[in-house]
Structure formats: structure tokens, C-alpha cells
Chains A and B, each alone.
Chain A
Amino acid sequence: MYNYNKYIGNDYFRNTTPNNMMNNQPNLYTPEEGYDRGNLFANLYVGYKNYQPTKLQAKNEKEALFLELSRYAFAAHELNLYLDLHPEDTTMLTLFNDYRMKTNQLMMEYENKYGPLTVSSDEMSSSFLWEKDAWPWEGGSKK
């Protein structure tokens, strides 16, 4: 739909002055980089000692789809927090919509293949799958 590759993961955002105030575009990580770090905003990232963030990897197809969903949901959430304070930032709004739509699409795909993540899922028309799969604290979605 939109091509944001020119904005993310390369020089466009990185080269802007680090600043989290209103009139400057923040520099952004890609959803993958941002999710691993717990921070989509490169200008806000502060590491601890020499610890490096875990590079999350999927062991199978189910995990890969789940990881992709988690990355885009996180990226959309980060932009949501930013847009709460800067609703007039149309560049970020467009990127938010891109990540939001991608999240919805991945959510539907995951639920269709592996069962519901929300009780409003369309995947329950024939049987009540909500209580079937493992719960998050038991390693649900991680098999």
C-alpha cells in the first residue's frame, strides 16, 4: 500500500537530530529492531551497562507469524503513544495506520490458522475455541 522503506531502518530518520520535542521528526527503528529493544524511538533508547537486547527468533511457522504480529502491534502501540501528544503529525499518522492495518491483518491470519487471541475472533462460529489453546503464562502461542 505505502512504501515506508525509505523512512525506516535507514538514514532518513536516523540522520535527524535526536529530539523528542514537538517540531522534529523522531528517528525510528524498524518494527523488528524496535520490538527487540522495547523502544521504537532510536532517539529515546538508553541501554543498561553492556547488556544487549535479545534478538527474538522464531522456531517454526506458528512462532514466526506470532512474532511478526507482536512486532507490528508493538510498533503501532509506540506510535499510538506518540500520537496521543502529537495528533497533528501526519507523517507519523500515516505510518501508524500502516502498522495498525498490518497488525489487524496478521491478527486475522494468526487466528485463522491457530485459534483466537481475542474472544471477538471470527474463528469461533462452529466451536468455542477461546479456552482451548494454552494461556500466555503457560507458553501459549509459543509452540
Chain B
Amino acid sequence: MWAYQKRLQYPVNIKKKDLRMAKLLITQYGGSNGELAAALRYLNQRYTMPDNKGKALLTDIGTEELAHIEMIATMVYQLMKDATIEEIKAAGLDPHYAEHNKALYPTDANGVPFTVTYFATTGDPLADISEDMAAEQKARAVYENLIDLTDDPDVIGPLLWLRQREVVHFNRFKELFEYYDEMFSKKPQLKNQSQQSNFMDNVSQGINNLSQFLNNFNQEM
């Protein structure tokens, strides 16, 4: 399960409204290389990792991405909140206003809604972690594009910081990739065995939990 802390991972305090930048920044929320795709990618891939190192890293980075979603959403919210209808129209955000008013909604910079087809899970640790490495690099590149498009230090600060997180995560995934690559090249049978036994362990654990839940439930009734 997850527990919320009522704080941002890094401070966001944007004083100047900027609808153009809000329209661009939203892609790091709901675009193909955005934080929502990252969080869902890692938090779905973690179940079929072959050992606890992979499960731990994907859980912890996936959780951090949820905090990054909150930072990007906060930036977009603060950039938009004082806008007038005229300003919204002038910035080309009237289609957004028509559907969402000033509410947050995960789309890319063109207003295309988020879709889960932005990420994959294959059950193959090397394929999944390669995607994760690529995802971190693409997100870093998009952060750089966004930094190029603004001169507001209140916006640049958090973007530089988020960009650096992509650098760190990329390196951690690279380490994990190299570690699994070496592990599988020494013992190729490990890859499939661990996946199958993991899966069956999870299934039988799930059945146990369910029957325990039903027992408790019956007793309480």
C-alpha cells in the first residue's frame, strides 16, 4: 500500500502565470515520456522481476515518480490558476477549458489524452529494464526541451531538478540491467525458472490471502 506525505519532493513556487508554458509542461504529466507513464511502467513491471533487487528498485523509483507527477501537476496548476478567459483563449487552451475548466488532466503538449500504450510490460526483465533506461533518457531530453522554452527561474529550477532525477534513475536501471545480464549469462535457466516460480508463488500467496480474508469475513458476520 502507499502512504501520502503532505509535501512536495522539491519545492514549486511559481509566481508568474504563463499559460503557454502550462500547455507545454503538461506533457511531463500525461505525455508519452511523462511521469504518469513512468510510474505505471515501473509499478506494473515490478511483479515479474527475477529477484528482490529488481522488485525493490522498481517499487521505489515507481513511487518517486508519483511524487514527480505531483510536482508537474503543481507547476501546471500554479501557471494556470490566475488566468482569465481571454488569456486562456489567446494561449490556445480554450479546448482544455471547454472540457476541464482549469482542472488538471493528463495529456501531452498537443492535448492528446494519456494512454497506457505509452509503456510496455513483457515479463522479460532485460526487455523491461531496457525500456526503463530509454524512458529515463527520453524524459531527460524532454525536460531539456522544456527548459529551452522558458526563462522563468521558478520554472527552470524544478525542471532542472526533475531532469537530474532522470539521470540518477537511468544509472540505477543501467546497474540493474548489467547485474541481470551477467546473472542470466552465467545461468540462463535462472531467467525463466525465477519468473515461473515467482508467478506460482504469487498465485498461491494470493489464494491463501483470499481464503484467509473470507474466513475472517465469515467469522465477523
Contact = CB atoms under 8 A, between A and B. Distances in A.
Contacts of B60: 77, 80-81, 84
A72 B186 CA distance: 39
A65 to B, nearest CB: 12
B7 A137 contact: no
Given A38-B168, A39-B167, A137-B78, A142 B10 contact: no
Q: By DSSP majority rule, is chain A's interface helix, strand, loop, or mixed?
A: loop
Contacts of B162: 38
Contact of B74 (A46, A82, A137): A137
Contacts of A139: 13
Interface residues of A, number: 42
A53 B7 contact: no
A92 to B, nearest CB: 14
A53 B57 contact: no
Nearest to B164: A38
B6 interface: yes
Interface string B57-78: 1001100100000100110011
A139 B6 CA distance: 11
A1 interface: no
Contacts of B176: 85
B98 interface: no
B53 A140 contact: no
Contacts of B163: 38, 48
B183 to A, nearest CB: 12
Nearest to A83: B56
A118 interface: yes
A84 B179 CA distance: 12
Contacts of B11: 56, 70, 142
A48 B13 contact: no
A135 B73 CA distance: 13
A120 to B, nearest CB: 7
A3 B182 CA distance: 37
Contacts of A81: 57, 60-61, 168-169, 172
Interface in A73-87: 74, 77-78, 80-82, 84-85, 87
B7 A85 contact: no
Interface in A23-57: 35, 37-39, 41, 44-46, 48, 51, 53-54, 56
A116 B7 contact: no
A136 B74 contact: yes
B165 A38 contact: yes
A51 B175 contact: no
Interface in B118-164: 144, 147, 153, 156-157, 160-164
Interface of A: 20-22, 35, 37-39, 41, 44-46, 48, 51, 53-54, 56, 66, 69-70, 74, 77-78, 80-82, 84-85, 87, 116-120, 130, 133, 135-137, 139-142
23 contacts: A20-B175, A22-B175, A22-B179, A38-B161, A38-B162, A38-B165, A44-B167, A45-B164, A48-B147, A48-B160, A51-B160, A54-B153, A66-B7, A74-B9, A81-B61, A84-B53, A84-B56, A84-B57, A85-B175, A130-B6, A136-B6, A137-B78, A142-B13
